[in-house]
Amino acid sequence: MINKKNLWKTADNHNIEERMRKIQSAPVPEHIAIIMDGNGRWAKKRALPRVAGHHEGMKTVKRIAKLANRLGVKVLTLYAFSTENWKRPKAEVEFLMKLPQEFLNSFLPDLMEENIRVEMMGDETQIPSYTLKAVQRAMEETSGNDGLILNFALNYGSRAEILMAVKNIIQDAKNDILLEENLNEDLFSSYLMTNQLKDPDLLIRTSGEVRLSNFMLWQLAYTEFWFTDVNWPDFKDVHLFEAVEAFQKRSRRFGGLS
């Protein structure tokens, strides 16, 4: 007997493949950065505790990382925990610090199968050792993968990052490792936590908030921004397609003329 539901599914899959092929026929952003916002509101709408929103948000990370990889995106940087997020209730902070462990334990086989490499940027000194260990293990195990770099911003703050760069530059200048006349934007960038990565081409922020919240202030100088009202746990494949399609329609002039 013909199963109507499966027929629809096949048609849906066909549409998705078609849309992906179309996106891939134009330049795909090499580096996408996402401020994953709205987990708390997603939970509140459903009368669930805030942490349920974070947990659902983790599932979105899995889906979107796989899709970005399939699209040919080279780097996906996700704002998972900011230097300001310590101000949240202790139980929520603890939950967020335990999420990487759960995420990486359950997702490592997929990461290997999909050839995805895990990276992390942020101040490691305050991060609990169990969190750091889980991330470091995933970084080690995936270090040979050469597909998407899944870069977690964990205890990351852009102002702190810039300040750290300035301090290290001063130190290197004092020790004659760096000459003032050689200091330019590229050299400055090499002191940032993103020194191995190109600047993001596309920034996505979910949940309707329109601000940067101390995220990659230096690196986003010429990035295209895309905002959506959708809360992060509700962010689906179609939303990533929409963001990338919008990006592909933009004319990037980097201060020059097209």
Residues that bind ligand FPP (CB under 6 A): 36-41, 54, 57-58, 61, 80, 85, 96, 99-100, 103, 152, 207, 232
Contact 116, 145 (CB under 8 A): yes
21 labelled ligand-binding: no
Q: Using H for helix, E for strand and C for coil, what is the string for 8-62?
A: HHHHHHHHHHHHHHHHHCCCCCCEEEEECCCHHHHHHHCCCCHHHHHHHHHHHHH
208 labelled ligand-binding: no
State the catalytic residue, choosing from 69, 85, 145, 231. 85
53 labelled ligand-binding: no
Give the helix, strand, coil percentages of the chain, each rounded to 5: 50, 15, 35
Nearer to ligand FPP, 36 or 204 (CB): 36
State the catalytic residue, choosing from 6, 12, 13, 37. 37
Place of tokens 């470091």: 136
Residue 230 burial (CB count, 10 A)? 18
41 labelled ligand-binding: yes
Could you tell me which residues come within 8 angstroms of residue 71 by beta carbon, excluding any fewer than 6 positions away? 20, 23, 24, 28, 240, 244
As measured in angstroms, the least distance from the Cβ of 122 to ligand FPP is: 11
Nearer to ligand FPP, 103 or 215 (CB): 103
Q: Which residue is nearest to ligand FPP (CB)?
A: 40
For the CA atoms of 171, 200, 129, 38, the dihedral, rounded to the nearest 10 degrees, stands at: 130
Is the sign of the CA dihedral 139, 159, 39, 88 positive or negative?
positive
Question: What's the rounded Cα separation, in Å, for the pair 201 and 49?
Answer: 34
50 labelled ligand-binding: yes
Residue 85 falls in the annotated catalytic set: yes
As measured in angstroms, the least distance from the Cβ of 7 to ligand FPP is: 34
As measured in angstroms, the least distance from the Cβ of 108 to ligand FPP is: 12
Nearer to ligand FPP, 71 or 135 (CB): 135
Residue 229 falls in the annotated catalytic set: no
Nearer to ligand FPP, 28 or 96 (CB): 96
As measured in angstroms, the least distance from the Cβ of 157 to ligand FPP is: 13
Nearest CA to 190 among 173, 170, 159, 165? Answer: 165
Point out the annotated binding site for Mg(2+). 37, 224
Per the annotation, binding residues for substrate are 38-42, 50, 54, 82-84, 86, 88, 205, 211-213
Catalytic positions, please? 37, 85
